[in-house]
């Protein structure tokens, strides 16, 4: 009998985690063999592997302990990949040579499958003098563009593109440009952005004081703190970025505050790390630990939870020794501190099984209690490991015991650490678990609420056809199995129905016993007022959160999936994901390409690429549809015969896309994203990564000039006169992996409900 609770779980395992030969032939014949492979690999570091392999296997069995995807996919494969999920790179020097040394290190790290974080606050602001070359600095944003172009070309292990986090201090002179960077939808698409917000800044905001923007001791600009805060909030309200990281709180509560300073996080924010810091992740599946669900006796057994945590800590500690590292500096940092990030998934499902409404005071109290028990068991297990194998090398008993987390622990934990030291400097974190949760039977992700009780997923078959299957939340399936067709109780809630303050309450409750941080998205309704939206961030700060990430659906961020009341499998009031047409479609879609009129109006543009002998000429002709001018065809010509084949191909492909209609602004975005490995060029003070990117820029200028696009870097905006022709509903953004229009925001990352693809891995 299959161990998988749902077809999607087996499909995810086969696609992402099952070991296969290079030709696709499976090596893991079953998920039991995958568990055995992992258990064997992690037991090899033990003095007696035969003792620990079966115990590790038992922890993995039935998806109770879920190591992060890189461990599941890579452990025991002999492949040159890292088992660590996240890295923060070294401090970027404020020199050209140092900056590009860091770029090289980033490429090597992403090549092995690691997501990375960088603090760009160390680079001098735009316009600052560069000594010795009689020039002004281009600023950190220009170098972030270079990082972004590099990231597009590096395919991470497991066929996932690299994910990056960029942070900048709230007092950096270029912070306003950083805040507004994502207004250009084609810029910095490989980055998540977060502002490092200090306590002093928050106090200035509350007091309506002034705020200095400073670099290297020089004040470049002074402005009202509230004005800068409102800019952060407005950008996040409109574009879902940047996020906010309360950096002083992170450093003050860090178990290693006596020997490190943190200025950046990994791409999803749950791991604040020092320079060259690395962390591996794993999750206890709370949904699988509940006994007697949906009854008054429903509970999680303390002894079973503590035993599973002890085994998980030991397994994750062994990963430190079993993993490869892209850089020697990362290996040294990991060995010196041995930090791990054990968290949970299936929390919302577990709460449902206990009859608790996610976001309620009772649910927050239960969440805090579970995580306190996990933290306590983790620290005791790590102290026992220190007794057996030694404490982490930088352990300082007096300094460590004085940290806020150790002060919050009971006497038994403190006495154990005082007597034996501790094996792992930090132990707990709550990571994004979108794909791994699907693999575990579609349990609720991390500490997020249930996104939707059920949705329909299109599955690509071997013959190219697609079939539909229902994907049901794990707790909902348990309800069906135990309660039949009985209607859901009032405590059944999902992400679509929760007010933002309930999200914040749950994040704050969890944070109290998490020594690192938490990846969580606070869903906000589209019609939330700007003032109420700002209050969400203030509530997060006042209740002890280490950061805040929100998502408000709108025409920029997208509202791809929505929940509608519909019937599924006899459950008449189950919300089901459906695609809905909004009032007045935004774009015109044509089921068949239009015939070309005899005459069209257009423009011709000359593009001169540096170091190229001949210019390229672009002619863009337009057609009027419904009283609106839109692009119809493109001709690209050059005297350089080396360009002949690709210019003809590009002419035909772009023209074919234009003639199909719809929001064709993605053509601009894709062209502008093309990176030439031989190097781009600086054109009019801006780095252009390739000649194709330059062509995309010319097309974009034409579309702006003709009114098809609102402005540079913006997609097609709402047109109340537009209509849908030949399709039932407007489409949102397609998944870059499977092409399905099933993208949704999960734990701060757009994630595909159809195949599990996520930019953040």
| Active site amino acids | 266, 268, 270
CA atoms lying within 13 Å on the CB side of residue 548: 30
CA-CA distance, 399 to 746, in Å (whole number)? 37
How far CA 754 is from CA of 251, 475, 735, 741, in Å, comes to 39, 20, 9, 8
CA-CA distance, 480 to 484, in Å (whole number)? 5
Across-strand partners of 155?
161
Q: Which residues are within 8 A (CB) of 23 and not within 5 positions of it... i.e. 6 or more apart?
A: none
Q: Quick check: bond before 88 cis, omega within 30?
A: no
Residue tagged 């006042």 (tokens): 542
**Maximum separation of any 2 CA atoms in the chain, in Å:** 88
Nearest Cα neighbor of 694 from 703, 708, 706, 682 is 682
CA-CA distance, 612 to 642, in Å (whole number)? 11
Residue tagged 């999803």 (tokens): 268
Contact 493, 485 (CB under 8 A): no
Burial class (CB in 10 A: 0-12, 13-18, 19+), 593: middle
96-111 helix and 140-153 helix, angle to the nearest 10 degrees = 30
CA-CA distance, 292 to 497, in Å (whole number)? 27
Across-strand partners of 129?
136
- Tokens found for residue 104: 């090289």
The backbone torsions φ and ψ at residue 474, rounded to the nearest 5 degrees and listed phi first, read -60, -45
The backbone torsions φ and ψ at residue 736, rounded to the nearest 5 degrees and listed phi first, read -70, -10
CA-CA distance, 636 to 20, in Å (whole number)? 44
Across-strand partners of 218?
215
Burial class (CB in 10 A: 0-12, 13-18, 19+), 459: middle
572 SS3 class: coil
Across-strand partners of 399?
none
Residues in the chain: 761
- Tokens found for residue 680: 């781009």
Residue tagged 């592997």 (tokens): 49
Continuous segment of H or E residues that includes residue 459: strand 454-460
How far CA 694 is from CA of 3, 413, 669, in Å, comes to 52, 60, 11
- Tokens found for residue 725: 């022709």
CA-CA distance, 387 to 382, in Å (whole number)? 9
Buried b (16+ CB within 10 A) or exposed e, 605-618: eebebeeeeeebeb
- Tokens found for residue 457: 């997923």
- Tokens found for residue 181: 């960077």
The alpha carbon of residue 334 and the mean position of all alpha carbons in its chain are separated, in whole angstroms, by 23
CA-CA distance, 545 to 107, in Å (whole number)? 32
How far CA 747 is from CA of 346, 443, 506, 511, in Å, comes to 13, 14, 14, 15
What would the 3-class secondary structure string for 688-725 be? ECCHHHHHHHHHHHHHHHCCCCCCCCCCCCCCCCCCCC
CA-CA distance, 513 to 430, in Å (whole number)? 11
């Amino acid at each position: 009998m299959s161990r998988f609770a749902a077809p999607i779980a087996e499909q995810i395992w086969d696609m992402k985690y099952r070991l296969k030969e290079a030709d696709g032939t499976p090596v893991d014949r079953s998920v039991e063999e995958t568990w055995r492979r992992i258990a064997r690999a992690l037991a090899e570091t033990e003095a007696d592997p035969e003792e620990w392999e079966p115990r590790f296997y038992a922890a993995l069995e039935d998806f109770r302990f879920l190591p992060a995807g890189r461990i599941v996919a890579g452990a025991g494969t002999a492949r040159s990949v890292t088992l660590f999920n996240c890295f923060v790179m070294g401090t970027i020097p404020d020199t050209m040579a140092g900056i590009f040394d860091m770029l090289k290190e980033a490429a090597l790290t992403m090549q092995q499958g690691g997501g990375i974080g960088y603090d760009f606050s160390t680079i001098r602001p735009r316009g600052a003098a560069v000594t010795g070359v009689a020039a002004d600095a281009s600023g950190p944003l220009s170098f972030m563009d270079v990082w972004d172009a590099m990231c597009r070309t590096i395919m991470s292990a497991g066929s996932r593109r690299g994910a990056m986090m960029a942070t900048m201090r709230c007092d950096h002179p270029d912070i306003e440009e950083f805040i507004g960077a994502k207004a250009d939808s084609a810029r910095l698409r490989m980055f998540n952005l977060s502002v490092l917000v200090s306590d002093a800044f928050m106090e200035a905001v509350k007091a309506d004081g002034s705020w200095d923007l400073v670099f290297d001791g020089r004040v470049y600009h002074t402005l009202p703190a509230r004005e800068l805060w409102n800019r952060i909030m407005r950008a996040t309200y409109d574009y879902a970025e940047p996020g906010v990281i309360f950096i002083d709180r992170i450093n003050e509560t860090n178990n290693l505050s006596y020997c490190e300073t943190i200025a950046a996080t990994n791409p999803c924010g749950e791991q604040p790390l020092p320079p060259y810091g690395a962390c591996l992740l794993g999750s206890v599946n709370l949904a699988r630990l509940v006994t007697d669900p949906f009854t008054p006796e429903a509970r999680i057994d303390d002894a079973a939870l503590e035993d599973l945590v002890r085994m998980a800590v030991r397994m994750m500690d062994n990963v430190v020794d079993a993993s490869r590292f892209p850089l020697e500096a990362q290996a040294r940092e990991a060995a010196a501190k041995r930090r791990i990030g054990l968290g949970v998934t299936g929390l919302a499902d577990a709460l449902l099984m206990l009859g608790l409404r996610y976001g309620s005071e009772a649910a927050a109290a239960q969440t805090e209690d579970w995580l306190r028990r996990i933290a306590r068991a983790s620290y005791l297990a790590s102290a026992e490991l220190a007794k057996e194998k030694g404490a982490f090398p930088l352990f300082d008993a007096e300094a460590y015991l004085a940290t806020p987390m150790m002060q919050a622990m009971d006497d038994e934990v403190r006495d154990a650490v005082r007597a034996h030291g501790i094996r792992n400097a930090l132990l707990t974190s709550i990571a994004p678990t979108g794909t791994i949760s699907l693999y575990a039977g579609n349990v609720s992700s991390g500490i997020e609420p249930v996104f939707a009780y059920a949705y329909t997923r299109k599955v690509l078959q071997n013959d190219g056809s697609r079939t539909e299957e229902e994907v049901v939340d794990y707790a909902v399936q348990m309800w069906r199995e135990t309660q039949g067709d009985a209607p859901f109780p009032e405590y059944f809630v999902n992400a679509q129905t929760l007010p933002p303050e309930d999200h914040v309450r749950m994040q704050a409750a969890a944070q109290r016993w998490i020594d690192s941080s938490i990846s969580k998205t606070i869903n906000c309704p589209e019609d939330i007022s700007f003032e109420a939206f700002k209050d969400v961030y203030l509530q997060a700060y006042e209740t002890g959160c280490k950061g805040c990430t929100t998502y408000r659906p709108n025409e920029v961020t997208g509202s791809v999936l929505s929940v509608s009341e519909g019937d599924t499998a006899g459950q008449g009031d189950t919300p089901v994901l459906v695609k809905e047409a909004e009032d007045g479609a935004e774009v015109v879609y044509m089921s068949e390409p239009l015939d070309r009129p005899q005459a069209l109006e257009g423009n011709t543009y000359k593009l001169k690429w540096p170091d190229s002998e001949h210019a390229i000429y672009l002619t863009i002709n337009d057609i009027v549809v419904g009283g609106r001018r839109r692009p119809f065809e493109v001709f690209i010509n050059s005297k350089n015969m080396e360009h002949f084949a690709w210019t003809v191909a590009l002419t035909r492909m772009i023209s074919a896309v234009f003639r199909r209609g719809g929001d064709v602004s993605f053509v601009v975005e894709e062209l502008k994203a093309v990176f030439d490995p031989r190097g781009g060029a600086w054109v009019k003070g801006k780095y252009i990564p390739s000649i194709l990117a330059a062509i995309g820029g010319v097309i974009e200028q034409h579309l702006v000039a003709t009114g098809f696009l609102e402005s540079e870097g913006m997609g097609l905006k709402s047109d109340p006169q537009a209509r849908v022709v030949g399709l039932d509903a407007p489409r949102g953004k397609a998944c870059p992996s499977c092409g399905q229009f099933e993208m949704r925001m999960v734990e701060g990352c757009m994630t595909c409900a159809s195949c599990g693809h996520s930019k953040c891995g």
